[in-house]
Amino acid sequence: MKKTIYIVNGPNLNLLGTREPEIYGANTLSDVEMACDKRCKSRGYALSFFQSNIEGEMVDQIQKAGAKGAALLINAAAYTHTSVAIYDALKTLDIPVIEVHISQPAAREAFRQQSFVAPVSMGSISGFGTNSYLLAIDAAIDSLL
């Protein structure tokens, strides 16, 4: 059985901790990665954690997750609302995919309420700050049991 949880993060998430902390909180992406690594290890899984501002690099990681991973968590950030390329890549996977958001897109601007990720995900976890990642890890691993 594949034992790695892949987490792919999209544009501007490298600015966590400084970008709009009233929306995204004070944790940095490094803080999120450390918390996710700890949670994965506590559940017997390894973590592959990735962030890019470049759509094609995200697609490459999605494809890698499909080949090598047990599950994929994706916070596509702004690409959630615009990327057919990410939708198409996710559609090819036969592993659990969970959409993750720190904020609650449904409570934000109208354009953020359209998701190209949700239709090809088993579920979405949003609005719980960076704890959304930990909840998604648990959901992904529980779905594999």
Give the tens place of pLDDT for each residue, 6-54.
999 999 999 999 988 887 878 999 999 999 999 999 999 999 999 999 9
- Give the tens place of pLDDT for each residue, 78-136: 999 999 999 999 999 999 999 999 987 775 667 767 899 999 999 999 999 999 999 99
Q: Which of 6, 45, 79, 101 is catalytic?
A: 101
The SS3 assignment for 7 reads strand
Residue 116, number of CB atoms within 10 A of its CB: 20
87: annotated active-site residue: no
Q: Which of 24, 79, 87, 133 is catalytic?
A: 24
What tokens were used for 44?
A: 């017997």
101: annotated active-site residue: yes
Name the amino acid, one letter, at 139.
Answer: A
Give helix 84-91 / helix 55-68 axis angle, nearest 10°.
10
Q: Which residues contact 135 (CB under 8 A, 6 or more apart)?
A: 125, 128
The SS3 assignment for 143 reads helix
pTM summary value: 0.94
Spatial CA neighbour of 95 closest among 144, 40, 46: 144
Identify the pLDDT of residue 110.
Answer: 74
- Give the tens place of pLDDT for each residue, 55-85: 999 999 999 999 999 999 999 999 999 999 9
Identify the pLDDT of residue 1.
Answer: 65
DSSP conformation letters of 23-92: HH-S--HHHHHHHHHHHHHHTT-EEEEEE-S-HHHHHHHHHHHHHH-SEEEEE-GGGGGT-HHHHHHHHT
Identify the pLDDT of residue 114.
Answer: 87
